[in-house]
Amino acid sequence: MRKTVMSLAVTATVGFGTIFGGTSVITEAASISSLKGEQNKIQEQRSGINSTINQKNNQISDLQNQQADVKSEITRIDYAITDSTNKIKEKTAKLESTKAEIMKLQGQMEVIKDRIEKRNVLLKDRARSYQETGGMVNYIDVLMGSENFSDFVDRANAVVTIMQADQAILKEHEADKQELEIKQDEVKTNLASLEKMVSDLQTLNQQLSAQKAEKDKLLASLKEQENEAHEGVMDLQEQDALLAAQQAAIQKAISMEQEAQARAAAEAAAQAAEAAKRKAASSSNTSSSSSSSRVSSGATPGVSSGYWTQPAVGYLSSGFGVRGSERHAGVDIANRAAVPIVAAADGVVIRSYLSSTYGNCIFVSHSINGQVYTTVYAHMTTRMVGSGAVVKKGQQIGVMGNTGASHGQHLHFELHKGPWTQDKRFAINPVGIVPLP
Ligand SMILES: [Zn+2]
């Protein structure tokens, strides 16, 4: 019985000692009041968040409407292309049949020309035989040989009839020839107009195809803008959790840096004292200098000297800034291989979770020379550190992926000079600050 009371008393003493012990009382009181202030700030931000979400959603539906418009235009163009292609086929078939008709007419023409030629030869032969044999005299003989006037008239009529018949045949041929020529001209005109129609249709088809290509490009860019807009939409709870976790992470990151600086100062002092000692002994050795080279191991980016290092190997598939109607608050590093993602600097993980938009994402708070920075790593396949974890520059925190509002495997990397906020007003271009591919 007595033992139990004793142990309780000890426990109580230890407990109180922990809570109110030493200088931590002042620090904690200060941090509690400052946390309250931060909490108020978070509440203020929350009221602004709703309007931002509405704005984003309007932007998304606007982009979706634009895409629907472009799609219906593409459908219209597709119909027009089908129509003109069918017309080209139809007119080309007609063109072929017209050409065949022209060939046929030319054949007919050849026959008639041949007939006319032969008839002409025949008539010329006859005319020559009249001259040579005194043909006209022969006719006269025929006429003179008539027995009486009635016989003369008969004979004369016969001669005339023969001559007229010859001429009538020739005239008929000429008429046929003329008719064929007219027909051929008509068909040739028809052919020319068909040829023009086909070439016009082909031009139209080319124009339509060019229009379609343009619309396809527009559609792709609208789709990309929509993806970016989706990437920026977070629900209230998600933002709230992030903002709340951020306060703790920022404070931890700041105190970590202060501790590290204090350690470095102590080390420097110790080294100075050591150096002074050595100088006194007048035997100076070569001091070891820290190498500041980047060591690369293929899939993992080499760790740079300085405060920042490259978060992933790959290529820069999208830069920071305005893209269409959308602002891209980060940079995209793409890679076909599922490469490691590393922390860009020493820091504290604000949150490590699965977001509907950012996919598997990690938010890290950094304190660098008293300046707070925030980095975001989105769309990962795997997360390897949890919320609140302390990470070192170059430490692997996940694997590149394609989760959330992502189309194609890449790392969406954001750098904020200050805390993360819904409107991402502190987002800056990491180029020139963080080593990038
Ligand atoms: Zn991105």
Q: Residue written as tokens 């895409």?
A: 67
Q: Which residues contact 223 (CB under 8 A, 6 or more apart)?
A: 67
Q: Which of 370, 262, 379, 399 is closest to 307 using CA atoms? A: 370
CA of 70 to the centre of ligand 1 (A): 24
CA of 50 to the centre of ligand 1 (A): 23
Cα separation, 157 vs 254, in Å, equals 136
CA of 26 to the centre of ligand 1 (A): 43
CA of 371 to the centre of ligand 1 (A): 24
Domain segments of the chain as ranges: 70-229, 235-272+305-437
Is 368 strand, coil or helix? strand
CA of 332 to the centre of ligand 1 (A): 5
CB atoms within 10 A of CB 219: 17
Determine the topology of domain 235-272+305-437 in CATH.
Glucose Permease (Domain IIA) (2.70.70)
pLDDT at residue 15, rounded to an integer: 38
CA of 229 to the centre of ligand 1 (A): 10
CA of 318 to the centre of ligand 1 (A): 7
CA of 320 to the centre of ligand 1 (A): 8
CA of 379 to the centre of ligand 1 (A): 9
Amino acid occupying residue 216: D
Is 16 strand, coil or helix? helix
Q: Residue written as tokens 């190498």?
A: 291
CA of 398 to the centre of ligand 1 (A): 17
Per-residue pLDDT tens over the stretch 125-165: 766 665 555 555 566 677 777 788 788 777 777 767 777 77
CA of 228 to the centre of ligand 1 (A): 7
pLDDT at residue 136, rounded to an integer: 55
CA of 328 to the centre of ligand 1 (A): 6
pLDDT at residue 133, rounded to an integer: 57
Q: Residue written as tokens 């002074």?
A: 276
pLDDT at residue 120, rounded to an integer: 75
CA of 334 to the centre of ligand 1 (A): 10
User: Residues with beta carbon < 5 A to ion ligand 1?
Assistant: 332, 412
Determine the topology of domain 70-229 in CATH.
Helix Hairpins (1.10.287)
CA of 413 to the centre of ligand 1 (A): 7
pLDDT at residue 137, rounded to an integer: 53
Write out the chain in H/E/C secondary structure.
Answer: CHHHHHHHHHHHHHHHHHHHCCCHHHHHHHHHHHHHHHHHHHHHHHHHHHHHHHHHHHHHHHHHHHHHHHHHHHHHHHHHHHHHHHHHHHHHHHHHHHHHHHHHHHHHHHHHHHHHHHHHHHHHHHHHHHHHCCHHHHHHHHHHCCCCHHHHHHHHHHHHHHHHHHHHHHHHHHHHHHHHHHHHHHHHHHHHHHHHHHHHHHHHHHHHHHHHHHHHHHHHHHHHHHHHHHHHCCCHHHHHHHHHHHHHHHHHHHHHHHHHHHHHHHHHHHHHHHHHHHHHCCCCCCCCCCCCCCCCECCECCCCCCCCCCCCCCEEEECCEEECCEEECCEEEECCCCCEEECCCCEEEEEEEEECCCEEEEEEEEEECCEEEEEEEEEECEECCCCCCEECCCCEEEECECCCCCCCCEEEEEEEECCCCCCCCCEECCCCCCCCC
CA of 116 to the centre of ligand 1 (A): 85
Cα separation, 360 vs 352, in Å, equals 8
CA of 170 to the centre of ligand 1 (A): 89
Cα separation, 395 vs 384, in Å, equals 10
The burial class, CB within 10 Å (0-12 / 13-18 / 19+), for 22 is exposed
Q: Are 188 and 99 in contact (CB under 8 A)?
A: no
CA of 346 to the centre of ligand 1 (A): 23
Total residues belonging to the chain: 437
pLDDT at residue 3, rounded to an integer: 40
pLDDT at residue 370, rounded to an integer: 87
Cα separation, 409 vs 157, in Å, equals 106
Cα separation, 152 vs 246, in Å, equals 136
- Residues of the chain with confidence (pLDDT) below 50: 1-26, 28-29, 284-293, 295
The burial class, CB within 10 Å (0-12 / 13-18 / 19+), for 434 is buried
CA of 407 to the centre of ligand 1 (A): 10
What does DSSP say about strands 331-334 and 340-342: parallel, antiparallel, or unpaired? unpaired
CA of 248 to the centre of ligand 1 (A): 27
